[in-house]
Structures are given as structure tokens and as C-alpha cells.
Structure 1
Amino acid sequence: MSLGVSAWDQCDTGLQKENHPHHTPSILQQTAHFTLINRLNSELQPFVKSVEPTSFSLSAAPVVFHQQSVGTERWHQQLQLAQTSRSMLDYSKLLATVKSDKGVSSAVDLCCFHSNKALEAIQAFPASEARSALENIASAVTKF
């Protein structure tokens, strides 16, 4: 929620600085897409960085897409295989498992989709520095 409020504030502040009229539906669309691309980008980081993370959320988009791809039974088997002797998860094994399927690419595709939708919503505003900055942000979060 705070990410959405932050995105709304950034858009609203930028538009006020440029003396743009409020195009509420466009701002709401843009804010929703910005919120999603920021969240997806954040959730993708452990899967696209060259440094292996010590942990990541099992509810991150790449993991959820992987779970959907392999099915519940296979996912539970994979979780069991990734457990250590102390019943802890070996995140490096689990990371490799998730990366071996299409979960990461599906999350990247979704991030790109919402980035494109944010860029479309931004087009409702006249050209300005604020609009250009928002376009740069929407494009940058899809560079992995």
C-alpha cells in the first residue's frame, strides 16, 4: 500500500510542478501499474542478480509462477528436496529450482506488460520533465 501512495505522490507532485491539470483516471491507472512494476522488479531481484541471495519470499512472483507451472504436488516435493538436515530451506537449491523453470520469465513478462501499460497511461499527459522522468522510471525497472 505504501508503495502505491508513494507512486501517487510522485506523480501528483510532478504534475503539480508542471502545472498539469489532474487527469484522475490516468493518474490512477499509472499509479496502479507503477506499483505493480516496482513490486515485481523488487521480487525479481534475487532471481536476476549475479549474487545469490541468502533468502527470498516464497510468495514472490517468480516463485508463485513456478508453483503454478509445476503444480502443487511437485512444488511440495521440490521444497522437501531443498530442506537441510535441520529442516531449514537451502535457498540456493530452491533458487536454482525456480530459475530452471519459466517462473522468472513469466514474472519478467508481467513486469514488462505493466511497464508498457504505465507508459501508455503516461501518454495522457503533455510532454514535460515530469512526464519524461516517469517514462524513464517505467522503462528502467524492466532492465534486468
Structure 2
Amino acid sequence: MGLEKYQELDPELEALAQAVIGAAIEVHRQLGPGFLESVYEKALSIELSSRNIPHACQHPTQVCYRGAVVGEGRIDILVAERLILELKCIDRFEPIHEATVISYLKATNLNLGLLINFRKPRLVDGLKRVVYTPQSPSRTSRPSPLRGESNE
């Protein structure tokens, strides 16, 4: 998983992530690289089920703005309603892949996602943890007046 900064989360979530990584490694060990993402998604779903790890494939999620739904997305696999998995079969991760996971984490109010790239010869070289910690607002929720407007 490289030398990226490791941020520890609650022990149950960490244990869940490790169990999922173990399942993904087993799928990769059995299938190897080279298939489509959908093949790995189905195989990983079977492996998670065999390990009694609750999950949902292609889980719909909504994007809200000021209380209104403005968009929708699909999470590849949502594990135990706590962990987002984004599966890839690509040469290397690009910034957009991490941004996608962060967007899903924001939309679901979750803290941890795993990017898993099944194209790598060694799956451990295709794993990336994505941690999202909501930022506290630096100012009050009331917008400041625009230049030239009064506060009355």
C-alpha cells in the first residue's frame, strides 16, 4: 500500500478493511490479472459472501446540495454499510480515481474507501486506502455580504 500516510480509524472498521483486503487477495490469487472489472466484482462478492461479510454491489447513492438531490452514483461495493470499494483494472491509479472515492465518502458520510486495482501482478501493489475526514467549517454558516451590500 505504499508509503502514504496511514490514518487509523476505529478498530472494527480497520478489521473489516483487513478482511476485505484478504478476500480481494484471494480473488486475485485465483483469477490473476486480466479480466474486466465486472468479473472481479462478481468474484469478490462471492468471496465476501463465503466469509459472511455483508455487502451490496452497485449500491446506489445520492448527491445532495442544500437538501435537494442533484445527482446519483453507484458504489462498486458497499461493505457492511461502512466501507466503500472502488474496483479498477487499469495500469495505474489517476487522481480522478481517488477523487471518485472521496466523493462517495462525502455523499455517504463514511470515512474509509479502498481502491483495488486487479490489473497489478501483485494485488498489494494495487491497493490504496482513501480516508475522508469532514472538515469543520472555518466560519459561520451565514454567508458574508457581497461587496457593496449592507448588512441590514
Name the TM-score class by shorter chain: under 0.3
**Larger helix proportion, structure 1 or 2?**
1
**Larger strand proportion, structure 1 or 2?**
2
Q: TM-score, normalised by structure 1?
A: 0.27
